[in-house]
Chains A and B, each alone.
Chain A
C-alpha cells in the first residue's frame, strides 16, 4: 500500500495536456502503431474509442441477448417458442408466470434462502475474519498446519464429501434444519474466506493496532474496534464472493435438506425445471427461469454500487 518502489521504467515527470496517441488495436491483436509525437487529440484516439466501444457493445449484447430471449420466450405460447424462436409474442402471456409461480412456491423458497444465506453469511464473515486475523498476525505452534488445512479445503471437490457429510449431519440431528444448513454453508465457505482475508490482514498496517494495544485495549477489542473496521473493504469483497456462492449453492441443500417446505430457491427451480421438462410445459419453464432471475438481478441493480465498491476495495489491497 505504501508508495515506495516506483516501477523503475516509469520516469517521474508528468506533463499536463498530454493527449496520448493510441494503439489502434487491442492488446494482443497484432500490429502496433508508433506512438505519435505529443499533441492534440489524434485520430488514433478515435479509432481506439470506436474499437473499444464496439467490443464492449458486442459483449454487452452477448450477455443480454440470451437473457432477453428467455424473458421473451416466457411470454409466448409453447407453439410460438417452437415455430419462431426469435419472434415477438403475439400477445403477452403472463399466465405462464402465474402458472410457474403457483406450481413452484418460489415465494416461500425465496424467504428460506434469504434466512439461510443471511445467517450463514454473517457467520462466515465473523468466523472467517477471526481465523484469518489470527493466522495473519500471530505466531503460534501449528499455525501453518491450520492455515494449510483451511486453504487446502479450496481444492476439495464437494461432491466427494456428500455422503459422509450426510452421516455427520444425521448423527448430530442437523438434517433438514436451517441451522444445520447454515453451519454447513459456513464451513464450506471458510477456505476461500480465510485464504482471502489472511492475505488482506497482512497488508494492513500494524501501527494502529499497536497504538490501541498500548492504550490498554484487549486483543479482542482491538480486533473488533480497530482491525475489523480497517478491513471493511476486504470483508465486503469476500462477502460478495460468499453471498453469490451460497445463494447459488445447489449440491449441498439437495442432499442435506430434503424437506419440501424447507427447500432453497435453487432446489425449487431445478425441481420446477425438471418437472416442466417431463410435462412439456415450456412456456412455464421459461417463466420459472425468468422468475428466478429477476429478483436477483433486481437486488443486484439496486446494490450494484456497493457490490462494485466492495470489489474495488478488494482489488486495492
Chain B
C-alpha cells in the first residue's frame, strides 16, 4: 500500500511518492477554483461512483448495527424491550470480575492458537505430500502422488457441508454409548481408549477443535496444493541438487513462496475459530460444559442476550471479542512482515 499523505479534500493531490498508478493522476500547478472542482470531479468521480453503493450497503447493514451494539454495551438493555438507560462502564466492570468471562477468554485464545496452527499445518503437510511425495519419475525431480486429484476431491468434502450439519454428525460420533467413535475403538479391541469425549471436561474442548480442524483441512490442502504446483519444478530440482533434502526444500522454498496464502488462510481460520458458536451450541454438554470447559465468548454473548435477557452485558462481551480479534489480527500482521520472496 502507498504511503500517500492525503491533503484536504479541496486540494489537488499533487504528488504521490512512488506513485504506482499512472493514468490516474498527473501533477499540475496553479488552477482556478472551477478548474479545481472539475479536476476533483475528474479525479475522484470514478472512485466515488464505484464506492458509493458498496459503502452505503455496508454502512447500513454492518457498521450501524455494530456501532449501536457498542452503544448498548453502556446500557442496561435487556434485549427484550426498548426500555433501557445508560449505566456507564458498569457492564465492563461486571465483565472484568466475572470468572466465566475469563474462562471463556482463555478458551478462545486456545482456539485461536491451536485451530489455525493445526489446520494450516496439516493442510501444508498433505499438500506437500500430494505434490512432492510421489515416486520419482524419469525427468522429474519431484512428483505428486498418484491419485492426488481424488484425494483433493475427497478432502474437500467437509468444507461444503454446513457447520450445523457437521456438528450434529459429530455429536453422534462422540456419543459415549453408541457413537461411532467408541464403537469403532471397541471393535478393534481398544476398549481402554474409549472415552466419554464431550462429557469429559479435559477432552471436550479438544473434541471441538478436532471437528473444526476436520472441516477445514481439505480446503487448505486444495489451496496450498494449487500454490505448490505453481512453484516451478526447477526450484526443487536445483535445491535437491544442491544437497538439500525435502524437509529443507519445504521450509526454504515452499513455505516462503506460499507465505501470502498461508497468511490469508490464517486470518480466515482465526475468525472461524473465534466463532466456535455453532459447535459449542450444538455439540456440548450444557451447552458450554461440562463444568464450563467449552464456554466461549460467542456462546456467552448468545446466552446473555437470549437466555438471561442481559443484552447490555452481552454486547460488552461482544466488544471484548472484537478486541481479542483485533489483537489476533495485529499479531498475524506482524508475522506477515517476514521477508517475502517473489518469483
Contact = CB atoms under 8 A, between A and B. Distances in A.
A187 B46 contact: no
Given A140-B44, A146-B51, A269-B162, A168 B238 contact: no
A142 B6 contact: yes
B257 to A, nearest CB: 8
A238 B33 CA distance: 43
B206 interface: no
A310 to B, nearest CB: 9
B65 A168 contact: yes
Interface string B292-305: 00000110011001
Given A27-B251, A127-B54, A157-B275, A140 B157 contact: no
B153 A7 contact: no
Contacts of B89: none
Given A66-B180, A187-B60, A314-B223, A23 B47 contact: no
Interface string B123-150: 0011011100111101101100100000
Interface in B181-202: 183-184, 187
Interface in A172-186: 172, 183-184, 186
A13 interface: yes
B331 interface: no
Nearest to A190: B58
B66 A156 contact: yes
Interface of B: 1-2, 4, 6-9, 13, 16, 19-25, 43-44, 46-51, 53-55, 57-58, 60-66, 68-69, 72, 79, 122, 125-126, 128-130, 133-136, 138-139, 141-142, 145, 151-165, 168-170, 172-173, 178-180, 183-184, 187, 214, 217-218, 222-224, 226-227, 229-230, 234-247, 250-253, 256, 258, 260-261, 264, 267-268, 271, 274-275, 277-278, 297-298, 301-302, 305, 311, 315, 318-319, 321-322, 325-326, 328-329, 341-343
Interface size class of A (residues with CB under 8 A): 35 or more
Contact of B155 (A25, A63, A248): A63
B225 to A, nearest CB: 8
A70 B169 contact: yes
9 contacts: A10-B238, A18-B237, A27-B125, A27-B128, A38-B241, A131-B50, A160-B315, A160-B321, A161-B69
Contacts of B301: 157, 159-160
Interface string A23-39: 10111100011110010
A130 B51 contact: yes
Contacts of A137: 21, 24
Chain B residues touching A, majority SS = helix
A88 interface: no
B139 A16 contact: yes
B160 A244 contact: yes
Given A52-B133, A269-B165, A154 B271 contact: yes
A35 B25 contact: no
B64 A164 contact: yes
Interface string A272-297: 01000000000000100100110011
Contacts of A308: 152, 222, 226
B247 A149 contact: no
Nearest to B229: A312
Given A130-B50, A157-B274, A317-B260, A19 B245 contact: no
B76 to A, nearest CB: 15
A314 B265 CA distance: 12
A7 B235 contact: yes
A11 B239 CA distance: 7
A75 to B, nearest CB: 15
A188 B136 contact: no
Contacts of B168: 273, 289
Contact of A85 (B23, B178, B223, B305): B178
A259 interface: no
A155 B298 CA distance: 13
Nearest to B274: A157
B133 A35 contact: no
A146 B52 CA distance: 11
Contact of A153 (B62, B130, B135, B267): B62
A313 B173 CA distance: 36
Contacts of A214: 23
A167 B188 CA distance: 55
Given A19-B141, A161-B62, A7 B341 contact: yes
A134 interface: yes
A160 B152 CA distance: 36
